[in-house]
Structure 1
């Protein structure tokens, strides 16, 4: 087979596997096998770039760097929709439609209004050629490289009744799970948390490095088809066609024949929307017939045949009782409002985010103020305003502290940054305890039987002042502590001992270098192979590592230049931790699992997830990424994903425990 044929074959195979995984939830191969095929294609494309296809799955992983985005004219203007907030205004819209159609029967399609970024995606001869932001509705930014990283968006389609040139429009969004993971990663590396998924999505799609966009697992729901010729008689037909062609169309839409049905749909989703994997802030109501749309026409800004019903943001008013200041592992100081408890969106809210000193000043907060609190699209409730008419002259203005609330060190705020931080990283108690808590977490050294309260006690008693001190714990040191029996002491010491087997990439993440999250730690570990080579690396050498930028490189160099950090690493080395990267080789143990497929979910007593995967493959089994009808077993540990368990039950997939799995070997 010549190189072009092999590239074509791999491209088609990987696109089909990608479609099955993301659209039909059917995994035919393990992640490992998929990655190996993709790696082979990348190598061939690097060798024969003239044969790279526009629909190559290698575009999914990104890598294109854009210094700036080209502005392009939309083929069809991306008009905005008129908004309505109550049933009366919706009835007025319905009456305008009835009059505009001169009493002719009509029906609506109701769709959820997803809270993300409007995208226009262009196809020519079935191949994705361009992805564009809404911009001002006439011109948008060409972000094709970023759009191609959306796994659910087909790079090539082959469908009936497909025009040579057409366009689909939809809402690009960051799933709540991705948003939470991103904020956890930012917390781990000492960056300010992102406010909400919509802003995170907007910022992500405008990033200049598409490989970073790919890692954020963006998604897109398509809701509109456009072409120069009329292909469908109704919007409903176009939705069915897009779904059949492989586009990710949300199944939440509904055809409604009366205004009463529309209002019932709105009422249903007012509550049900909180169970969705993304935020939504309303409903879009569209006339179904394309011919009737032409009759109704457009205003200068919006179509007369569609309107958006906006849900009111969940809001409540309550009293600001105090402001406390949380100190993170990296020294960031975050103000938190302590509120008189109030019911909001089904939960009792006692605290709300204020973000930073600028926000305190903008809101002009005073203790005792009556404040407005919203959830809306936010994950964490936030204060949106103050009822100054209820403010007393006796209310004290909230002043952001100038010194650390824990150690009294003067706070620092770097130019261009919104956050204040305490520079006393080696003497500030919350920072020290935060570093120990970071060190023992599952993604780092995974030391079980240690929690926040235990770490706090160890610190107060002077037993543990840094993570390295954990490896000097003995039965004698712990025996005199109140509440510590022989069993709990043995469990802690066993967990500490077990952590010496944790691979280098997790140790590197655990030591807590600023801006080095779990992903970056893995890149650095595999590139430099050991801690000594990393410690000697220059700024220029670090920049050669894929995805390592200026800020991370500076932080790593500064960390290893610090003599106290050098001594800390030496103590961890002496304790026996892993500081050399070892690539995992699968050693065949047997064939007891041959022909059987597995999905892993949750945490386990005797295995890490990677260890479990190796064990399965070493005994002839295959590990798949998602639950499908072809799956044989779902191995469920503690905290197994409820959606995976529900799907397994629905499809009749056998769910087994760790013990049951071991009996199969």
Structure 2
């Protein structure tokens, strides 16, 4: 392991655990190997072996050495992945070995015909096949010379593609240098650039938060990101890579099968798909197709089918090619996941959190193996962006088991009398389930029902939140029990949980008398709480634990909170206009006030205090951040002690942070505190401050 604090001016600095003198070049190479190893662990294996702070330290150390010794910088250094000037255009690259496309099979009969042709041509009874998922990304080739990545290109027309080397250097899953003692003289790696599902979701969330256009799907996002003329834009996108084959090669071990070639690539620490197998005959192909289809939705990446290849290279050579496709391989595609249909109506649904979601009722259409009759339209912004109207012919996509969505409108088929759809106007600004007022805040794309404590659609979520540990803490009142109570019609609103008796609970499935008594005891125990916990338990939009405590400290009693207007609420420390509007809208709903009154009538109580600002206490006005594991205090305990002393506990470090309390295995928050010069203390120092 490389150690820190190199003497940049000394060519014989000791950088290793032993004291043997090493040169600056050796130090740099050791750091590069260490960083490459951690890149492989993180970006390929998804199993990081060091915390981010340690990786960042190594990277900064390498940057510092290269800055002082620019003559030692090489193109394969980890520091050279990001940056560079934007290109005016991509050069063309001719592939040494053509990147041919595959013929497709959609029906079992087509696959059977393929297998028969292979067997007849080879004169054998059963064929060994290499099988693997068919990635839904962008095909490309990587060229390594003496183990160093020198060029990358897109597939293009199969014979020549675009030189995207600069952009590929930004993808950390692609090694700049092959980790082997015997690098091949030449190695062309064929593979696919794509974006993982989880990264695509985050990418679109980030796009939405910046008010920018959302990407339609991971494949389009990956292709567009790779073909950016500015490598810095590519570097900002979460691209990854999987290898699936070889092109030209010199100086590699003897490889007789496709499967052995993939194992060889894996040994070089190139990312390859773990779901690859070898199977025998037609039945093996069909079994693999079914198995991958069953786990398709659980895979971290999108696939649109599977690929079958004759495994033995000598048999591939014997079979040869037809037109622009190999005779020895075929893609078995999954059923289409997009289809055209007509929007018959647009209705709305109310979610567990009060979100009002428009849903398109469709003329039934077969998509992705099922008949689809509904598709989500997400929110008003999405309706406006796609301009979806009743009567439109639309393209519908089904992704996994989630509700299908409308992708786009076929404008050429739009009826002349169609009109734009307005979500709030269509429901007259009232919740279709409970009649409470529906609002949409300026900073949100989703409209919401304000009857959180009363609305039947939100009933289960309201109870679970109210009963949670940080709210009134009703031990044992979990999701399964709440489902039973609501589904059986025993609980109609939040206050009804305190009307439950022993006989009612005992009659439920899997609920013995002792368990029922424990619930009754927990309900009674929860009646004595605090005003802050009670306010938090109400589930007011944008009101978390900290804001609930601020409200309790400032107003001192529930009636003052109920009667507060927006101007008054903004006098509470850390409450701005958006949060103030959420609070006022919640308490302006008569249904919510009725439930609060019933909860108090049922015996919920706390100790009122005189209305005060949050400026009292030994640590009033100070902001703390907790990071790592403290020796004796849990994070919740430390947070409660600090807040009781008037301090504010924040989740992130900034220039406004007064103290960072660091325990074992503190991460990036500690690093940022050091960079900003924030005071860092341990648990013992914290206890001294509190005392």
User: Is TM more than 0.5 here?
Assistant: yes
Does structure 1 residue 430 correspond to structure 2 residue 451? no
Could you say what secondary structure the match of 1:149 adopts? coil
Question: Deviation at 1:9?
Answer: 2.6
Does structure 1 residue 130 correspond to structure 2 residue 151? yes
> Which residue, out of 172, 191, 194, partners 1:151?
172
Question: Deviation at 1:299?
Answer: 1.9
Equivalences for residues 213-362 of structure 1 within 5 A? 213-229=234-250, 231-314=254-337, 320-323=343-346, 338-339=360-361, 350-353=374-377
Could you say what secondary structure the match of 2:323 adopts? coil
User: 1:212-253 deviations in whole A, cap 9, x for unaligned?
Assistant: 333332111111022345841110111111112211111111
The structure that has the greater radius of gyration is: 2
TM-score by length of 2: 0.58
Does structure 1 residue 463 correspond to structure 2 residue 566? yes
**Alpha-carbon distance in structure 2 between the residues aligned to 1:110 and 1:474:** 54
> Which residue, out of 108, 120, 140, partners 1:99?
120
> Which residue, out of 167, 183, 186, partners 1:165?
186
User: 1:514-566 deviations in whole A, cap 9, x for unaligned?
Assistant: xxxxxxxxxxxxxxxxxxxxxxxxxxxxxxxxxxxxxxxxxxxxxxxxxxxxx
Could you say what secondary structure the match of 1:153 adopts? coil
> Which residue, out of 384, 390, 399, partners 2:419?
399
> Which residue, out of 35, 52, 71, partners 2:56?
35
Q: Check conservation: 1:318, 1:371, Cα contact below 8 A.
A: yes
**Alpha-carbon distance in structure 2 between the residues aligned to 1:474 and 1:320:** 34
Q: Check conservation: 2:257, 2:312, Cα contact below 8 A.
A: yes
**Alpha-carbon distance in structure 2 between the residues aligned to 1:299 and 1:86:** 21
Q: Label 1:387 to 1:197 Cα distance change in 2 as closer, same or farther (>3 A).
A: closer
**Residue equivalent to 2:97:** 76
User: 1:82-133 deviations in whole A, cap 9, x for unaligned?
Assistant: 1110111111111221222233753111110011111211101111111211
User: 1:167-198 deviations in whole A, cap 9, x for unaligned?
Assistant: 11111110111110011111112122211111
Equivalences for residues 503-582 of structure 1 within 5 A? none
**Alpha-carbon distance in structure 1 between the residues aligned to 2:445 and 2:622:** 17
Q: Label 1:160 to 1:95 Cα distance change in 2 as closer, same or farther (>3 A).
A: farther
**Alpha-carbon distance in structure 1 between the residues aligned to 2:142 and 2:29:** 24
Q: Check conservation: 2:126, 2:280, Cα contact below 8 A.
A: no
User: 1:27-74 deviations in whole A, cap 9, x for unaligned?
Assistant: 443201211221222233334332112221123444553332222111
**Alpha-carbon distance in structure 2 between the residues aligned to 1:474 and 1:286:** 59
Could you say what secondary structure the match of 1:312 adopts? coil
Question: Deviation at 1:318?
Answer: 6.8
TM-score by length of 1: 0.60
**Alpha-carbon distance in structure 1 between the residues aligned to 2:607 and 2:402:** 39
Q: Label 1:450 to 1:4 Cα distance change in 2 as closer, same or farther (>3 A).
A: farther
**Residue equivalent to 2:514:** none
Could you say what secondary structure the match of 1:224 adopts? strand
Question: Deviation at 1:616?
Answer: 11
**Residue equivalent to 2:16:** none
**Residue equivalent to 1:417:** none
Does structure 1 residue 85 correspond to structure 2 residue 129? no
Across the two proteins, how many residue pairs are aligned to each other? Answer: 486
Q: Label 1:16 to 1:309 Cα distance change in 2 as closer, same or farther (>3 A).
A: same
**Alpha-carbon distance in structure 1 between the residues aligned to 2:582 and 2:119:** 81
Q: Check conservation: 1:27, 1:624, Cα contact below 8 A.
A: no
Q: Check conservation: 2:358, 2:423, Cα contact below 8 A.
A: no
Q: Check conservation: 2:141, 2:190, Cα contact below 8 A.
A: yes
Does structure 1 residue 46 correspond to structure 2 residue 67? yes
Q: Label 1:27 to 1:591 Cα distance change in 2 as closer, same or farther (>3 A).
A: farther
Tell me the C-alpha RMSD between the 2 structures. Answer: 5.2
> Which residue, out of 381, 391, 397, partners 2:404?
381
Q: Label 1:624 to 1:286 Cα distance change in 2 as closer, same or farther (>3 A).
A: farther
User: 1:353-393 deviations in whole A, cap 9, x for unaligned?
Assistant: 496678559xxx653x68663315898734479999xx9x9
Question: Deviation at 1:308?
Answer: 0.6
Q: Check conservation: 1:62, 1:212, Cα contact below 8 A.
A: no
Q: Check conservation: 2:377, 2:406, Cα contact below 8 A.
A: yes
Unpaired runs of 5+ residues, structure 1, are 327-333, 409-427, 439-446, 499-575, 594-599, 626-661
**Alpha-carbon distance in structure 2 between the residues aligned to 1:405 and 1:88:** 48
**Alpha-carbon distance in structure 1 between the residues aligned to 2:175 and 2:425:** 54
Q: Check conservation: 2:626, 2:661, Cα contact below 8 A.
A: no
**Alpha-carbon distance in structure 1 between the residues aligned to 2:607 and 2:308:** 63
Answer 1 or 2: higher relative contact order, Cα 8 Å, separation at least 6. Answer: 1
Q: Label 1:132 to 1:356 Cα distance change in 2 as closer, same or farther (>3 A).
A: farther
**Alpha-carbon distance in structure 2 between the residues aligned to 1:353 and 1:474:** 25
Q: Check conservation: 1:616, 1:623, Cα contact below 8 A.
A: no
Unpaired runs of 5+ residues, structure 2, are 1-11, 13-22, 350-355, 427-437, 449-534, 544-560, 616-620, 643-648, 670-686
Q: Check conservation: 1:196, 1:378, Cα contact below 8 A.
A: no
Structure 1, 352-361 or 262-271: larger mean CA deviation: 352-361
Q: Label 1:468 to 1:266 Cα distance change in 2 as closer, same or farther (>3 A).
A: same
Does structure 1 residue 179 correspond to structure 2 residue 200? yes
Structure 1, 54-63 or 66-75: larger mean CA deviation: 54-63
Q: Check conservation: 2:629, 2:666, Cα contact below 8 A.
A: no
Question: Deviation at 1:347?
Answer: 10
Q: Check conservation: 1:592, 1:620, Cα contact below 8 A.
A: no
**Alpha-carbon distance in structure 2 between the residues aligned to 1:32 and 1:3:** 23
Question: Deviation at 1:477?
Answer: 11
**Alpha-carbon distance in structure 2 between the residues aligned to 1:204 and 1:281:** 20
Q: Check conservation: 2:143, 2:152, Cα contact below 8 A.
A: yes
**Alpha-carbon distance in structure 2 between the residues aligned to 1:147 and 1:4:** 26
Could you say what secondary structure the match of 2:440 adopts? helix
